[in-house]
Structure 1
């Protein structure tokens, strides 16, 4: 990161806290008691073990180098464990090798950690009105957590140079994400909801004003120091008015998917079979809340996925495919709402496509206009298609209230263009959903 591009306040803070931004984790992490990483096996589980995978000469040389580095840093040590997961390499974009250990057999017999991951939409809603952001990426966060006493032998992995076990939490074990979230949640608890949101190894500090942001960033760094956690400066963003978080671009105006993701969908080739169609719809579905009438546009494609359907690339599907890509590439940002202010819900029914949907909107106080917070839609069931239009419009209203019930309050207004519903009391209907 070029220091010249940093805000002056950020340069000063980095200078004061440079020990938190080392090139490597300087030492074996301290034990954290109940927060140390535990691996509980299902009753009667037999230690999974496999022989080493065959590697190329280049990979073997890299393996030797990385093993020495991990041993020298105290992260692994030789082991006689009956467990044994094979290791292999994945090449990164920069040409370097990332060692991966195949812990799938171990994961199958591991009792799952149920500590919840944060809900992405709830995190983003916290950012209403915020104009200053600093994103911190924890350096090799998994390796900043020790293995619990007595559990290291379960992490054993096999190589041509023998078996080794981890003293720090390795990548690839199924309970690593919840264990990481637990640690960073407890570390950041004083600041959560006040100036911080977190997701695994990403910490986003947010503030309304520059002066407050200076205080908030210093506070967060103090919390990291108190818990002996380190940050990778190359992946951080300091004192910006726009940030990338959870795959989105976020600023004071709202939230948008990263442009690269949208361009990937724009340039998607025509699917040649059902599998390729499923992959495309999966990618498109990731941004569906940005697209009004998503289901109506995509319906010819989703119908092709029905069980027993033979894949035939018809003109209707081609039109739907192109229309959906165009709708996605032309989306506008969604407004980050003020949860204390009223919402408006606009419903709609498409009889041609047998679908219903709508928009959740809120007035932007800075421009005075209604702005979309989210869109949603669904297809009508076989029975619902026989409803008269009045009941379909009512069904849409109830569906939208149910879908966005976490936003609904006493001042939420549901808008409809169906005259006979304008005086309808939705209270009883909504109370039942």
Structure 2
């Protein structure tokens, strides 16, 4: 049979040089197998697939496998040969993507190559390595045999080369499975003609018994493909339906394996099989098959009997994902909206392992989204994804105090076009299992409610915003104001849910009545509670007027009281729930003492309690100045994080969404996340220039270099994208740095010639004296110093003569000095 020309491709074996060749010992077979082996060898020899070989270095045995219907199939045991060959990393197409690209076409044609692997020749140098032993002698393959490790990669490389113009357009190929597709029936004949032209050109043969042309549906890569969508393989479904009750570990493993092959079609597959995995915890001989397992087994069969039809998304479709969390697994379903109906695209399920089981419920929901994005990455990259959830998933992934794994997940999800929307009413049976996001049973918790005085909240009435839930963190605020001849002030005591009391005294620099002082105390306390990020607050004050006006029991008639009341209601709107109650002054003594302290404070008086000064009443309109704000690099990120607004340009929108995962907003300011650093305040280039100037030449500046200057700015908690380039430009423009800094790669001092090139090459001699006379009447000294090493030699002298100096030289430096070589 003709094959593909070796000039196009041939299969080569790449051996690990550290592995020694293996010659397997000959195995014995029964007569029936011998006859089948002899017939197959004769057939392969006649079509020139094999040839005889002498002295092979690798030798393998033949394995005879009975065919499903009748006869024997001859295989070769290349186990040792495959171990010596490294794996070919040539990528194979993703089956899910091929199936999705095929569904939805009007006409399909399915082809299968005839002995596909045998149409590729072995490289002549590697033919002998495929040798096998029979009772008639030694043979080797001239063509690529079945069973070689990298045969599939070689064949995929071939078809990718042959059908490169057609793949992805009118044709899909997975190894030797080929498919031609057409959107309309009129296009199918030209598409087939283009494919057959390539087959004829390269002499590739098809198996006519396994080909089907111009059909509306068919089996491709284990799935049923049609214009309607993707269906599960009926044979795989029937295999589950025909199973009896598992009795051994092997039976349960067989069941879970068959389910794993169809997980794309099974809603919450891990939850449905959870009891089966639990039953496997028994011994290898005995399993724990309970009534719950029997119910789950029956429900699985019932579900597989009505397995859903999966849809294929088209370009530009917006996909919707539903998430669900149980005690032991996370699940999701990807939905395509078409004709006002929800069509499933892909089901995903994963069992929770180890620490994942202990994640908080909202983090489990985020983990379900991350798992879905990893498994359905092609869909997430090609389409806009709407996550339908009633949980604050976006806020959890972007909150400032998020954990390390949430930061990692947020960055991982940042590359996709994901939008978070509330759940509407579900419109399809395909998402019936996802009605509830949390299917884990919750323990009922008794909710204690505290309502405002004089409010009538019946048992069947829905609690309003002014209802406190004691199961949630509750802050307590005590306020009191004081106005007397010495001055005006306010006292505040804010108690956290952890019973930590914050004392705060406020001194007014303006005159205020007693009621105005009480309101100022309330407003200051609310501002403090807002800064502490309180959600529920319970307020106590001894002012009857303030309490009843806020509770709408009294009407504010005075213009000043009306302004204060409106300001108080505006601040109270920042809390999820609040309550205010009047208490006797004896029960508010702490805040009263702080208020009196602030009102009686004299300027310059020493104090241990922090006291702030209020320059003007809180109701006075602040002075607003117009600031010329030019667009900055932070604006797109802030708009996306605060308002979910993206630029109109799709590429820029994707870039902003990806970058925003590394940033968060705190009190209206943008901060950059860091794994090993605290949050970095984001600045504009103008603000960054001021920071660089203060660090470089400010009161504590030391005119550091560009790299050090940038690192100091980061350590101080600041960031902007051009930080390093701005630091370099700033130091280059610094006048003092340019005038007095050392020039890089040049010495700090001018270069001078060395007088002495090596040790003891040149000496300097000097005479010292007269000095106080010593023993032996010595009063002079002769000193010799080496110019290179600064080594010194000295000797005391009574008189200075040429003979004494010559004796000193020859006695002290005869060996070290080159002068010794010139001595006669």
Scaled by the length of structure 2, the TM-score of the pair is 0.46
Q: 1:62 to 1:285 in 2, by over 3 A?
A: same
* More displaced stretch, 255-264 vs 391-400: 391-400
Scaled by the length of structure 1, the TM-score of the pair is 0.86
What is the match of residue 411 of structure 1? Answer: 384
Counterparts of residues 26-425 of structure 1 (less than 5 Å)? 26-27=1-2, 29-33=3-7, 35-80=9-54, 81-305=56-280, 311-350=287-326, 353-364=327-338, 367-381=339-353, 383-408=355-380, 411-416=384-389, 418=390, 420-421=391-392, 424=395
Q: Secondary structure at the match of 1:151?
A: helix
> Once the two structures are superposed, what CA deviation does each residue of 1:347-367 show, in whole Å capped at 9, x if it has no partner?
1223xx432211101123xx4
Residue-pair matches, total: 401
Q: 1:303 to 1:208 in 2, by over 3 A?
A: same
> Once the two structures are superposed, what CA deviation does each residue of 1:260-317 show, in whole Å capped at 9, x if it has no partner?
1101111112222323322221111110111111111111112344598973222222
* More displaced stretch, 340-349 vs 273-282: 273-282
Q: 1:408 to 1:426 in 2, by over 3 A?
A: farther
The one of the two structures with greater contact order (alpha-carbon pairs below 8 A, sep at least 6) is 1
Q: Secondary structure at the match of 1:33?
A: coil
Q: What is the CA distance between 1:106 and its match in structure 2?
A: 1.2
* Structure 1: 5+ residue stretches without partners: 1-25
**Does the Cα contact within 8 Å between 1:339 and 1:407 map onto a contact in 2?**
no
**Does the Cα contact within 8 Å between 2:104 and 2:229 map onto a contact in 1?**
no
Counterpart Cα distance in 2 of 1:423 and 1:225 = 57
Counterpart Cα distance in 1 of 2:109 and 2:312 = 18
Counterpart Cα distance in 1 of 2:171 and 2:214 = 14
Counterpart Cα distance in 2 of 1:251 and 1:381 = 38
> Once the two structures are superposed, what CA deviation does each residue of 1:218-265 show, in whole Å capped at 9, x if it has no partner?
101111111110001110010000011011110011111221110111
**Does the Cα contact within 8 Å between 2:50 and 2:140 map onto a contact in 1?**
yes
Q: Secondary structure at the match of 1:37?
A: coil
Q: What is the CA distance between 1:320 and its match in structure 2?
A: 2.4
Counterpart Cα distance in 1 of 2:48 and 2:372 = 55
Q: What is the CA distance between 1:328 and its match in structure 2?
A: 2.5
Give the aligned CA root-mean-square deviation in angstroms. Answer: 2.3
* Structure 2: 5+ residue stretches without partners: 399-406, 414-824
> Once the two structures are superposed, what CA deviation does each residue of 1:142-171 show, in whole Å capped at 9, x if it has no partner?
110000121100000000000001100111
Counterpart Cα distance in 1 of 2:4 and 2:359 = 64
Counterpart Cα distance in 2 of 1:411 and 1:79 = 60
Counterpart Cα distance in 2 of 1:34 and 1:48 = 31
**Does the Cα contact within 8 Å between 2:103 and 2:226 map onto a contact in 1?**
no
* More displaced stretch, 325-334 vs 171-180: 325-334
Counterpart Cα distance in 2 of 1:343 and 1:358 = 13
Counterpart Cα distance in 2 of 1:289 and 1:307 = 29
Q: 1:211 to 1:98 in 2, by over 3 A?
A: same
